[in-house]
Chain A
Amino acid sequence: AQTIHQWPVAEIKAVGSPLSLGCTIKGKSSPNLYWYWQATGGTLQQLFYSITVGQVESVVQLNLSASRPKDDQFILSTEKLLLSHSGFYLCAWSIDPLYFGAGTRLSVL
């Protein structure tokens, strides 16, 4: 069975500090991978997607970047956090439908 693991579970960070969030998929080779962002109480917005190692497409510009260093790993990062980066970050994989991880809650203060 496929599993998707996100880390960390939660982060509290200062404005201007760096950020790295991770996502690992096990049990599925060459999955399509996605990062979604959800504002508190809001809808989901797709940020990035990747269909293969080393290739990432940006969907929305939010001063974030993403990388796929391994087939089963997807990283979301930024060098300088903004207050507007606060929210819930969800990693997902897909053939169809989407399968989501448990998410990372980010609070930027």
Chain B
Amino acid sequence: TQTVSQSDAHVTVFEGDSVELRCNYSYGGSIYLSWYIQHHGRGLQFLLKYYSGNPVVQGVNGFEAEFSKSDSSFHLRKASVHWSDSAVYFCAAANTGGADRLTFGKGTQLIIQP
């Protein structure tokens, strides 16, 4: 069974702190990984993706993620969070190398304290 696991339902940090949101996957073969952000009551917005090449990928608004085949992980990081980063973050994966068959994790709510 192909799964995407986000072990933290909630992460709380202070504004200006660094943060890492964890994502682990269980897939065989080539994998396509991505992160999306959902602000309260809104649709999802794409942050970044990985399919091949450099395992560290840069996204919008200072986010980056690192692919690790040995750890089956694709963790999302940001060096210094802003209050506007408060949202739910979804990790998603697919085998096809594209977005057609994305499986989403359960999401991690990032809470930024002032």
Q: How far is the CA of A44 from the CA of B83 in the complex (A)?
A: 25
* Of B43, B49, B107, the contact of A97 (CB 8 Å cutoff): B49
Question: Does B44 count as interface, using CB distance less than 8 angstroms?
Answer: yes
Q: How far is the CA of A59 from the CA of B104 in the complex (A)?
A: 14
Interface residues on B, range: 10 to 19
Interface residues on A, range: 20 to 34
Residues in A whose Cβ lies below 8 Å from that of B44: 44, 90, 92, 98, 100
Q: B98 near A46 (CB under 8 angstroms)?
A: no
Closest to B44 in A: A100
Residues in A whose Cβ lies below 8 Å from that of B49: 96-97
Question: Does A29 count as interface, using CB distance less than 8 angstroms?
Answer: no
The proximity string for B residues 26-62 relative to A, scoring 1 for CB distances below 8 Å and 0 otherwise, is 0000000010100001111110010000000000000
Q: How far is the CA of A44 from the CA of B92 in the complex (A)?
A: 10
Where the two chains meet, the residues of A that have a C-beta atom closer than 8 Å to any C-beta of B are: 32, 42-46, 49, 90, 92, 94-103, 105
Where the two chains meet, the residues of B that have a C-beta atom closer than 8 Å to any C-beta of A are: 34, 36, 41-46, 49, 90, 98-102, 104-107
The 5 closest A-B pairs by CB, nearest first: A100-B43, A94-B99, A97-B46, A44-B104, A100-B44
